[in-house]
Amino acid sequence: MKPSGDTPASAGPGPTRPLASRSRISDDINPEVLVNYLYQQQCLKLWVRSGSGEDNEGVVLRKKGGQYLACPPQPAGSLLLKAAAALKVECLMTVNSNVIKTFLRWFTELEVPFNNGCRAQVLPTIEALARAKRQNFAAFVASEGLLVVWDEDALHIISRASGIESQLMDLMWKSDDNNDEADE
């Protein structure tokens, strides 16, 4: 028997759900999947202390309705969640690497100028992150040895953090070259 034109054929196995139900599930699951994926990428790049469970590291993502979700999970009053809410960003990620720590031991200014014309503040503590310049999309936290990066598109956060880390290497490398030339 051929299906009539007014009933859609099943596109896959299992029962179909009404559209409203699928949307509600999507709103709950998609942010959870995305924040876990971003945290997985953060771990693969070795941008977190291994298994430290620190509540000042990880990925924070804004869910529908303005609530924030973090991976690894953060206590409700964590400084990272407060910073994301104060900055009103879609996504925020920490970068805890030897490159960042070395750079912060070496660099003594209050702002880091990048070769693309952008800047990032060097803040004394993670509490000060809530007052960071939002338009900079990044800030360093000296006391923690962290870079904190944010973006309005969660899918760009990894490339933004990687780009900043690369620019830091260029900055340190060029500075080292300048010191060698001065010694000659």
Domains of the chain are 20-183 (3.40.225.10)
112-149 pLDDT per residue, tens: 988 777 889 999 999 999 999 999 999 999 999 999 99
The pLDDT value recorded for residue 153 is: 92
The pLDDT value recorded for residue 20 is: 47
The single-letter DSSP state of residue 143 is T
Q: Is 45 exposed, middle or buried (0-12, 13-18, 19+ CB in 10 A)?
A: middle
What is the 3 state secondary structure string of 5-74?
A: CCCCCCCCCCCCCCHHHHHHHHHHHHHHHHHHHHHHHHHHCCCCCCCCCCCCCCEEEECCCCCEEEECCC
More confident residue, 122 or 19: 122
Indicate the residue type of 30.
N
Residue 166 has pLDDT above 70, yes or no: yes
The pLDDT value recorded for residue 52 is: 52
The pLDDT value recorded for residue 86 is: 93
Percent of the chain exceeding pLDDT 90 equals 50
20-63 pLDDT per residue, tens: 444 444 455 588 999 999 999 999 999 998 655 567 899 999 99
The pLDDT value recorded for residue 25 is: 41
Rounded to an integer, the average pLDDT of 62-78 is: 89
